[in-house]
Amino acid sequence: MPTVSYKCPDSGSKMKKTFPYNAVGKAQADTFVKLMKGNIKYNPNRYSKGY
């Protein structure tokens, strides 16, 4: 599951958003990182699809 860590522009709190571990989810996560200026971590777990 690609996990994006970012800082909320309104409240300033740190937030996390996870995306599905497939081609579409990776592309969405990459775009979201660029939009929110956050950090991305590709961390598949054993129980996700496609592992």
Q: What is the pLDDT of residues 5-48, one digit of tens each?
A: 999 889 999 999 999 988 999 999 999 999 999 999 987 666 65
Q: What is the pLDDT of residue 43?
A: 77
**pLDDT recorded at residue 15:** 94
Residue 40, φ and ψ in degrees, nearest 5: -115, 145
Query: Which pLDDT score is estimated for 18?
Result: 92
From its phi and psi, is residue 12 left (phi > 0), alpha (psi between -120 and 50) or beta? left
- pLDDT for 9 equals 86
At residue 50, does pLDDT exceed 60?
no
